[in-house]
Chain A
Amino acid sequence: MSDSVPNEVSVNINGAEVRAKAGEMLIAAADRAGVHIPRFCYHERMSSVGMCRMCLVDVDTGRGPMLQPSCMVPVAEGMSVDTQSEDTKRAQEGILEFLLVNHPLDCPVCDKGGECPLQDQTMAYGPGESRFVEEKRHYEKPIPISDLVHLDRERCILCDRCTRFADEIAGDPLIHFTERGNSTQVLTFPDEPFSSYFSGNTVQICPVGALTAAPYRFKARPWDLDQVESTCTTCSMGCRTAVQSSRNELVRYLGVDIESVNHGWLCDKGRFNFEATNSEERLTVPLIRDPNDERQLLGSDWGSALANAAEAILDAGSDGIGIIGGSRLTNEDAYAWSKLARSIIRTDNLDAQLGDGLPAELVHSLPPATIADACEADTVLVVGPDLKEELAILHLRLRGAATKGHTKVVEINAAPSGCEPYVERAIRCGSGEAAKYLGEILNSDDDLATRLREGSVVAVVGRSSMAESDHSSIAVAALIRDELPHATFLTALRRGNVRGALDMGLAPGVLPGRTAIDNPSSALDDIWGYTPSMKGLDTTGMLQAAAEGKIRTLVLLGADPLSDFPDRNLAAEAIQRAETVISLDNFLTASSAQADIILPTTAYGEQGGTTTNLEGRISRLTQKITPPGSVRDDWMIATELAWRLGGDLNLTSKEQIWREIEQVAPSHAGVTVERIMSEEAREGILVQESSVEYIFPSVQEPPIADGYGLRLISGRKLWDASTTTSMSPSLRPLAEAPVLKVHPTDLQRLGILSGSDVRVISTRSTENLKAVADESLERGTALLPFNQPGFGANRFIDATAAVNDIRIETL
C-alpha cells in the first residue's frame, strides 16, 4: 500500500476504514474509532484474558467471517470486522443468557443497579428471556473480603477483572479464583483478607455488583447521584476523580482515567476519605478561648473572631508573627494568604511545609520531570519515603513501568519499603547516608553506574525518614545534579497541594510564580505594593522563635505541628509560649484544640479552585456540596483579615484570584482561566518554568551511632493518625498501633523478647512502646512509624539534629 505508515495497519470495521496500531487489540481499535463492542472482562489498563466472550465479533481475514473475541485478536492489515452481524448478535444473546444462568438478578437491592454493565448490556444485547429454569448457584452473601470490600459470589460473573487488578496492577494477589467449573469463585485465603491499599479499585471495575465498598453500601442509588470531576488532594499526586454526592452529602469518589497521572486508579485513602468531609466532628462556627477559663473554647461569631485575630496580628507586629501550613489550601487560597502575609502583614515568616519536606528553593530549582518521564526512563532512582505508603499511586505507576516496561527502579533507603518487590536493586544505606552510598556506586565499576551515567534517569527525591534532617536529601540532590547532569527530578513531597502552596509563595524566600524574594516581577510589585526584602523563617525557625518568645502570634493554616512537625517537644513549647495561636482548620486537631482563635474552613468537595501536583501540574477542583454551618474559604478569611488590618487584598472570587496569579506569577503566565476551564485541563496544565536558584549548603556526614544506641528511622504509613483518616469511620480502624521494629540480634543483645514492651529513651523523651523483632532491618537501626494512633515518633525527634538515636531498655 502506498500510504502505509510503519507500525500502522488498516482495518475495516463495519464498512469504515480504521487506522490502527500494529499489535493492538481489535476492541481497542474499535473503541478509538467510536465503535462500541460490548465487554465485561476487557479493561484498557490491564492485559486481555478473553474470559467473558462478550466481545465476540465477526472477523474476516480472508477465509470468511468467523466469531472471534475482539479483546484477544490483534489487528491485522486488511482485516474486515462486522460488529453487528447476525452471528455476532446471536453470540451476544447466547453469552448473556449463559452469564445470567447463575446471576441472581437481585438488581433492586444491588448497589450496582442503575450503573451495572451487566444490566445495561443485557438490556442492549440480551435475548430478553432465558431458557434456564434450573436452580441457581447459592453462596453466603455478602462476605467481607477486607475491611472495605464485600464480596457477593452469587452476582460474580468470573470476569477476572478484580483478580487481574490485584495481581497485575496492585501486586497484591490476595484474591484468586478457587475451585473449578460450576463452583469457581473468587476468594481470599482463609484469614488473609484482601488488605490491599488499592482494594477500592476492584469495586469500581467490577462489571456487576459482586464487589461493593463498605463505605458506600446502600448509601445511594446511582440515579440519585450528582457528579462533578475534580482532583484528589489527599497526597500530592493529584489523581483525577469523579466526586459524587447525594442529598448534599459526599457518598463516593471514582477514579477518572487520565494518561498523565493515575490511569483511573485511586488508593483507598483517597477513595474513601470523603467520610471526613461529612464528619460530625467538623468545625462549623468560629471558636474563641474563654477569657475566664483557659480550658474552654466558646462558640463565637465571625465578627468577633476575626476582630480578635486581627488584633493579635497587629499586636505581634511583622517580626512577631509566623504563618505555618497551607498545603491543604487551594492555589487561590494559598495566593491570598501569601499576599496577605507579605503585602499587608509585611512578614516573610511563612511556610507550607512542617519541617518534613525540602527547601522550597530546592524544589523550584531542580530540573523537573513528569510521572510519565519516570515511567519511560531507563532508570528511576528513588531516594525518599516509602512511595507505597506516602504516594501510593506513584508507586503503582512505577510498579507498572518496572513490571511491563523497560524501566528499572533502584532504591536507596535505610529501611525496607513497599517498592521492594519490583525494584531492580534495593540498596540499603545508613540513615542520612544515602548520598555517600550513591557516590560510592557512581564512582565504582558497577553496571548501575554506567547505566545512570549513560541512560535517562529520573530521580524521585524526598525525605526518607522524619528522624533525619533534610540535609541528607539535599546532599542526594546535590550529588545527582553534579554527577548526573541529565537527570530530572520528581520531588516526593507528600501533602495535598504542597507544590501549589510553594508555587504561590507559601515558603520563606520565594514569591508566587517560583521567583526569589529579591526578584519580584514588576506586575507583582505593582499589585502588591510591598514585599519584604529579607527571607523569613521556615517552620522550624518559626517554632524556635515562638518557643523563645520572639514570635508572639502563630497562624496555623490547616497545620497540626503537634502531630506533623518532626519535633513534638519544640512544637508544643512554641504553641504554649505563643501569646495567640490562630488556627484555620476543618477539625479540632491536637494543635488547633490548643489555639486561642479557631476559624472553621471549607473542606474538600466544598470549594472550587485549582490544585498543583508534585510535577507542577495544575488541575481543577470542583465544588460539589455546600459547606456546613458558617465555614468560609481560606481566601475569604485572608481578605477579611486584610480589611481589619487596614488594607485591602482586592480579591473577590477564586476566578479573579487566578487572573491575578496569572498576571503576577511568571511561571504561570499563559495559564489563563479559560485554559483551566477547558477540556485540556482534565490532564492538568503542566507548569515547569522557574527562576529560583538554590545554593546548596555544605552538608556534613551524620555522626556515627554509638554502640548502645539505635538509629531511629521513621516514615509515614498510608493508614496513620492523619486527620482525614481518623475522621473517616471506615478508615480509622485500619491504622495500627505503633510498634518499634528492631533487628532480632539487637533485641537479643539487650535480652528483650520480641513483642514485649520496652522503655525507649531519646534526648527528647522517654516512653514505653512495644518492640518487635524484624530481620529485614539493618542491625543498629530501629523503625517506628511517624504518626500512628496514640503515639507519634515525633516525641523522640530533635529537629535540629542530623540524625536521631534512641536507646531501648527492658522495663
Chain B
Amino acid sequence: MSFFSDENTRLAEEIIKRYPKARSAMIPLLHLAQEQEGWVTEAAMAEIAELVGTSSAEVLGTCSFYEMFKREPVGKYLINICTTMSCALMGAADLMQHAEKALGVKSGGTTEDGMFTLEGAECQAACTEAPCLQVNYRHRYRVTADEFDAMLAELSTPDPGVPEHGVLSQIRQHIPEKNTVGALPPEEVNAPPVWLNTEEDQS
C-alpha cells in the first residue's frame, strides 16, 4: 500500500523532476504529505525516503527539524499565538489564557472535535500589530478576547475562507516541462539553466 494517493503520487513524481537531485524534493514532498493527511505520518516519511532514494531516518531528521511539519495529528485550524516581545508586552499572555479557556485545551493541545490546535509561537513579524496570531499561517492582527471568540465562531462555519491545515498553493504550480531542471546532477549540466536563456523571450 502506498501512502500517497494516485494523484499525489503523480504530483510527487513531477516535483522530483524539478530538481537535479531527487533528494532535493524531500521538503516539497513532506509538504505534499502534510497536505494529504493534515500531518506527516511515519508511513509518509518512509515512502518519501523511498521516492527520493534515502533512508527514512534522514527524512525524519529533516522533517523533525522544521516546526511546521507536524508529526502528530493537529486540528483543522492551527492557531499560533505569538508570545514574543512586542506581543508579550501587548497582552499575549492574557490572550493565550483566554484562548485556553475558550477552547478548553492547554497550549499545544487539540480540541476533542479535532477542529482547533492551540500553540504559542515565536515572533510572526507583525510587531506593529501586536498582539497577533495566525490561523493556519494566516495573520490576524491586534486580537482582543472578543475578537478571538468571534474568530472561533467564524471558523466553525462551513466555509470560513481559511483552508484546512496543510493545504498548499505553491506546490501545485505548474512548471512547464522545458523549465524543469531534469534529472541530471549539477556536475553533468553543461548548458545554462533554461530560465537564464533570455534569447527566446526577446525574439
Instruction: Say whether A174 faces chain B, with CB atoms less than 8 Å apart.
Output: yes
* A175 interface contact, C-beta 8 A: yes
What residues of chain A lie closer than 8 Å to B55, measured between beta carbons?
A: 172-174, 176, 189, 192
- The reply to whether the CB of B27 lies closer than 8 angstroms to some CB of chain A is no
State the CA gap A187–B64 with chains docked (Å): 11
* Least Cβ–Cβ distance between A168 and chain B, in angstroms: 13
- Whether the pair B42, A177 counts as a contact (CB closer than 8 A) is no
From B56, B57, B67, name the one whose CB has the most chain A CB atoms within 10 angstroms: B57
Which positions 14-69 of chain B face chain A at CB distance < 8 Å?
42, 45-46, 54-61, 64-67
Chain A residues 48 to 83 lying within 8 A of chain B, measured CB to CB, are: none
Contact of A190 with B by CB under 8 A? yes
Whether the pair B57, A175 counts as a contact (CB closer than 8 A) is: yes
A86 at the interface (CB under 8 A from B): no
Instruction: Name the residue on B nearest A181 (C-beta).
Output: B65
Q: For residues 152 through 202 of chain A, which have their beta carbon under 8 Å from a beta carbon of chain B?
A: 167, 172-180, 187-190, 192
Chain B residues numbered 82-135 whose CB sits less than 8 Å from any CB in chain A: none
Chain B residues contacting A190 (CB-CB under 8 Å) are 42
For the complex, give the distance between the alpha carbons of A189 and B49 in Å.
Answer: 11
Task: Determine chain B's interface SS by DSSP, over half rule.
Answer: helix
Which of A172, A173, A179, A188 is B64 in contact with, Cβ under 8 Å? Answer: A179
Within the complex, the shortest CB–CB distance from A757 to chain B, in Å, comes to: 25
* Nearest B-chain residue to A194, judged by Cβ: B57
Distance between B42 CB and nearest chain A CB, rounded to angstroms: 6
Chain A residues with CB under 8 Å of B46's CB are 189, 192
Check A180–B54 contact: CB distance below 8 A: no
Using Cβ atoms and an 8 Å threshold, which residues of chain A touch B56? Answer: 189, 192
Asked whether, in the complex, the Cβ of B64 is within 8 Å of the Cβ of A180, the reply is yes
* CB closest residue in chain B, given A188: B57
Total A-B pairs, Cβ < 8 A = 42
Inter-chain CA distance A187–B55, complex, in Å, is 12
CB-CB < 8 A to A189: which residues of B?
42, 45-46, 55-57, 59-60
B65 near A176: Cβ-Cβ < 8 Å: no
Cross-chain contact A173 with B65 (CB below 8 angstroms): no
Check B64 against A192 for contact (C-beta < 8 Å). Answer: no
Chain B residues within 8 Å of chain A by Cβ, number? 15
B45 & A173 in contact (Cβ 8 Å cutoff): no
Residues 66 to 87 of chain B near chain A (Cβ within 8 Å): 66-67
Task: Report the separation of the CA atoms of residues A216 and B45 in the bound assembly, to the nearest whole angstrom.
Answer: 34
Which residue on chain B has the smallest CB distance to residue A178?
A: B64
Measured CB to CB, the nearest residue on chain B to A173 is B55
Contact B60 A173 (CB under 8 A): no
Assembly CA distance A190 to B45 (angstroms): 11
- Identify which of B42, B58, B66, B67 contacts A173 (C-beta below 8 A): B58
Residue of B at shortest CB range from A189? B56
In the bound assembly, the distance between CA atoms of A190 and B72 in angstroms comes to: 14
CA distance A613 to B84 in the complex (A): 64
Q: What is the bound-complex CA distance between A167 and B46, given in angstroms?
A: 17
Identify which of A172, A176, A179, A187 gathers the most chain B CB atoms within 10 Å of its CB: A176
Question: Does the CB pair A174–B64 fall under 8 Å?
Answer: no
In the assembled complex, the Cα of A189 lies from the Cα of B54 at a distance in Å of 12
Q: Is the CB of A179 within 8 A of B65?
A: yes
Which residues of chain A are within 8 angstroms of B42 by Cβ–Cβ distance? 189-190
Query: Measured between alpha carbons, how far is A629 from B179 in the docked complex, in Å?
Result: 76
A192 to B50, CA, bound (A): 14
Q: Which of A167, A172, A187 contacts B60 (CB 8 A)?
A: A187
Contacting residues, chain B, for A175 (C-beta < 8 A): 57
Once the chains are docked, how many angstroms separate the CA of A189 from the CA of B42?
9
Q: How far is the CA of A810 from the CA of B106 in the complex (A)?
A: 59
Q: B residues within 8 A CB of A174?
A: 55, 57
**Residues from chain B with Cβ under 8 Å of A178 in the complex:** 60-61, 64-65
- Bound complex: CA of A312 vs CA of B54, how far in Å? 60
Closest chain A CB from B175 CB (angstroms) = 29
A158 to chain B, nearest CB (A): 12
Q: How far is the CA of A167 from the CA of B59 in the complex (A)?
A: 13
Task: Count chain A CB atoms within 10 A of each CB in B60, B61, B67 and give the residue with the most.
Answer: B61
Q: From residue B44, how far is it (CB to closest CB) to chain A in Å? A: 12
Measured between beta carbons, the chain A residues less than 8 angstroms from B64 are 178-180
Contacts of A167 in B (CB 8 A): 58
* Minimum CB–CB distance for B79 against chain A, Å: 22
Q: A residues within 8 A CB of B67?
A: 180
Interface contact B65-A180, CB-CB below 8 Å? yes
Question: Which residue in chain B gives the minimum CB-CB distance to A421?
Answer: B53
Residues of chain A lying within 8 A (CB to CB) of residue B59: 189
For the complex, what is the distance from the CA of A308 to the CA of B46, rounded to whole Å? 63
Question: With a CB–CB cut-off of 8 A, which chain A residues contact B57?
Answer: 173-176, 187-189, 192
Please name all residues of chain B whose beta carbon is closer than 8 Å to the beta carbon of A179 when the two chains form the complex: 64-65
User: When chains A and B are docked, how far (Å) is the Cα of A175 from the Cα of B57?
Assistant: 6
Instruction: Report the Cα distance A178→B56, complex, angstroms.
Output: 12
Identify the closest chain B residue to A172 (Cβ).
B55
Look across to chain A and name the residue whose beta carbon is closest to the beta carbon of B65.
A180
CB distance from A435 to the nearest CB of B (A): 33
Q: Which of A374-419 contact B (CB under 8 A)?
A: none
Tell me, rounded to whole Å, the shortest Cβ–Cβ distance linking A421 to chain B. Answer: 9
Residue in A closest to B59 when the chains form the complex, CB atoms: A189
Give chain B residues whose Cβ lies under 8 Å from the Cβ of A180: 64-67
Question: A192 CA to B55 CA in the complex, in Å?
Answer: 10
Task: Give A183's nearest chain B residue, CB to CB.
Answer: B64
A645 and B42 CA atoms in complex are apart in Å by 70
Q: Which residue of A lies closest to B63 (CB)?
A: A178
For A173, the chain B residues whose CB sits under 8 A away are 54-55, 57-58
Q: How far is the CB of B71 from chain A (nearest CB, A)?
A: 10
A178 to B60, CA, bound (A): 7
Question: From residue A408, how far is it (CB to closest CB) to chain B in Å?
Answer: 15
Give the complex CA separation of A178 and B69 in angstroms.
13
Q: In the bound complex, how far is the Cα of B144 from the Cα of A199, in angstroms?
A: 56
A194 to chain B minimum Cβ distance, whole angstroms, is 8
CB distance from A235 to the nearest CB of B (A): 26
| Contact flags B166-179 to A (C-beta < 8 A → 1, else 0) | 00000000000000
Q: How far does the Cβ of A161 sit from chain B's closest Cβ, in whole Å?
A: 16
- Cα A188 to Cα B56 with chains together (Å): 8
Closest to B62 in A: A176
CB of A426 to closest CB in B, whole Å: 16
State A170–B46 Cα separation when bound (angstroms).
Answer: 20
A69 CB to nearest B CB, Å: 23
**Chain B residues, Cβ within 8 Å of A177:** 61, 65
Expressed in whole angstroms, the minimum distance between the Cβ of B22 and any Cβ of chain A is: 14
Q: How far is the CA of A188 from the CA of B60 in the complex (A)?
A: 8
Closest chain A residue to B61 by CB distance? A176
Report the bound CA distance from A179 to B57 in whole Å. 12
- B64 CB, nearest partner CB in chain A, Å: 4
Contacts of B65 on A, CB cut-off 8 Å?
Answer: 177-180
State how many angstroms separate the Cβ of B25 from the closest Cβ of chain A: 17
A270 to chain B, nearest CB (A): 24
Q: How far is the CA of A201 from the CA of B64 in the complex (A)?
A: 26
A173 CA to B23 CA, complexed, in Å: 14
Instruction: Determine the chain A residues whose CB is within 8 A of the CB of B45 once the complex forms.
Output: 189
Q: Which residue of B lies closest to A190 (CB)?
A: B42
User: Nearest Cβ distance between residue A576 and chain B, in whole angstroms?
Assistant: 49
| A179 and B54 alpha carbons, distance in the complex (Å) | 18
Provide the bound-state CA to CA distance between A204 and B64, in Å. 28
A530 to chain B, nearest CB (A): 61
C-alpha spacing A188/B46, complex, angstroms: 12
A175 and B45 alpha carbons, distance in the complex (Å): 14
CA distance A187 to B46 in the complex (A): 15
Cβ–Cβ < 8 Å partners of A172 in chain B: 55
Contact sample, A vs B, 17 pairs, CB 8 Å cutoff = A172-B55, A173-B54, A174-B55, A175-B57, A176-B55, A176-B57, A176-B60, A176-B61, A178-B60, A178-B61, A178-B64, A180-B66, A187-B60, A189-B55, A189-B56, A192-B56, A192-B57
What is A's interface to B at a CB cutoff of 8 Å?
167, 172-180, 187-190, 192
| B residues adjacent to A (C-beta < 8 A) | 42, 45-46, 54-61, 64-67
The 3 closest A-B pairs by CB, nearest first: A176-B61, A189-B56, A176-B57
Please give 8 more A-B residue pairs, beta carbons under 8 A apart, in addition to A176-B60, A187-B57. A173-B54, A176-B58, A178-B64, A180-B64, A189-B46, A189-B57, A189-B59, A190-B42
